[in-house]
Structure 1
Amino acid sequence: MIRRFVVSVLMLLLLGACREAPPDKPEHTADTHQRQPDAAQPALNSAPAVAARAQQRLRTVARSGNIDHDVASLLLEHYRGAQQLAAVEIATGRDPDLRALADTLRREWRQESQTLGRLAGRTHYNASEDYTLLYQDFSRGMQAAGDSATRYYRPPTGNPDADFAAALSAHLRTGLLLVQVGIAYGSDPPLIALVHHFHHDQLRHLRQVQAWTLAHPISTKR
């Protein structure tokens, strides 16, 4: 009788152990390696990715055959890229100086984009310069500006502020190259005046970014 009771108790204990829930699996352990950000493959909305798309759009801006119209169109696209970079910094950045700069870029975009849009529309119907030696030289200058800009880009670090500073620096350098070509070949007085103003602002912002980068060397390293 006692043996039968002991056996029954042991059987109940074994059944209870078998019914216990398995130990909890640590959350996300199975795919942790898949979720880690890869610095070589930046997120779609990161500053490096936004800058790369902006650079690509600059290369695909439609050419009208009129130098002044094309300068205005290219600078308008450049402003749009700067505004998108600023939006990324405001959304993800933490550094107050860079966020203030991003806000300045957004305000400049609202002001200058309207002026550039009007200039592009006004110069669009000017006499075409297509197939002339001057326009061909202008086109080669713009192509060289785009090609030279690629050397300014740096691999992403995963630090939103450092990546914004590096991407914006490259973007501003591209703008300065575009400005040089625009001044050399453009002829519309209001456009040339705006281009000179654009050059002043881009150079000032570039110096701000360079100063920030020098003051934050650790944040630009992985």
Structure 2
Amino acid sequence: MISRFLVGVLTLLLLGACREAPRETPAHVAETPQRQLAPAQAEANSAPAVATRAQQRLRTVARSGNIDHDVASLLLEHYRGTQELAAVELTTGRDLELRALADTLRREWQQESQTLGRLLARTHDTASEESTLLYQEFFHGVQAAYDSVTRYASPPTGDPDADFAAALSAHLRTGLLLVQEGIAHGSDPPLIALAHRFHHDQLHHLRQVQAWMSTHPNPTKR
């Protein structure tokens, strides 16, 4: 009886010690400012920020002096920006219609980027007075396309779907202007064929996103 009593007393003492032991928070978790970094990270990866970086990269595409080569470079970079915008919507967006559009854009990037890569690799420089003058005309049109983005840009709202739609609309408009310059001044038949397909597809997507925007009033900035 005594031994059982002692065992019971010791058990109660041990349980009490376990209840009273303080819970320690790991230092690296307590000191990590995750809540402070999250808004900045979200802003940097938002559709408006991604679209801005895509436009900046378009402006830095190297000029070769060959229209066909540069058209392929510009369209490849444009597709890359479209892919990044689609990835933002697929990660953060909630609207099923826009997510379906983003998935379509992602698949188009996978197909057309390979074709553009091959066209880019086989185009080469030409040097003549006529081609130089034509290139200057082409490049002037490209600069106008770059500058057009300021007319189409919308301030961010904080809503992932609305921001994606607005950023994609401006991005597609710029791409249409770029490809029109390529069609008007390019000479490589496979590239021109791709440019016409690009124009058709991007115009279709622009109409899709504009139709969505017309039925979804732009929310106020959060």
**TM-score, normalised via structure 1 length:** 0.79
Count of residues paired in the alignment: 187
Alignment correspondent of 1:116: 116
How much has 1:127 moved relative to structure 2?
2.2
After the TM superposition, which parts of structure 1 deviate over 2 Å for at least 4 consecutive aligned residues?
A: 34-38, 125-131, 219-222
Describe the shift of the 1:57–1:35 C-alpha distance in structure 2 as closer, same or farther (beyond 3 A): closer
CA contact (8 A) 1:72 1:116 kept: yes
Alignment correspondent of 2:146: 146
Alignment correspondent of 1:95: 95
Q: Distance in 1 between matches of 2:38 and 2:200?
A: 41
How much has 1:220 moved relative to structure 2?
3.3
Describe the shift of the 1:213–1:156 C-alpha distance in structure 2 as closer, same or farther (beyond 3 A): same
Alignment correspondent of 1:7: none
Higher helix share: 2
Alignment correspondent of 2:7: none
Alignment correspondent of 1:72: 72
Q: Which amino acid aligns with 2:169?
A: S
Q: Distance in 2 between matches of 1:191 and 1:213?
A: 32
Aligned-pair Cα RMSD in Å: 2.2
Larger deviation: 126-135 or 68-77? Answer: 126-135
1:192 paired to 2:182: no
Describe the shift of the 1:129–1:102 C-alpha distance in structure 2 as closer, same or farther (beyond 3 A): farther
How much has 1:148 moved relative to structure 2?
1.3
- Give SS of 2:187's match: coil
Q: Distance in 1 between matches of 2:92 and 2:48?
A: 13
How much has 1:54 moved relative to structure 2?
0.1
Q: Distance in 2 between matches of 1:71 and 1:36?
A: 38
- Structure 2, unaligned runs of 5 or more: 1-32
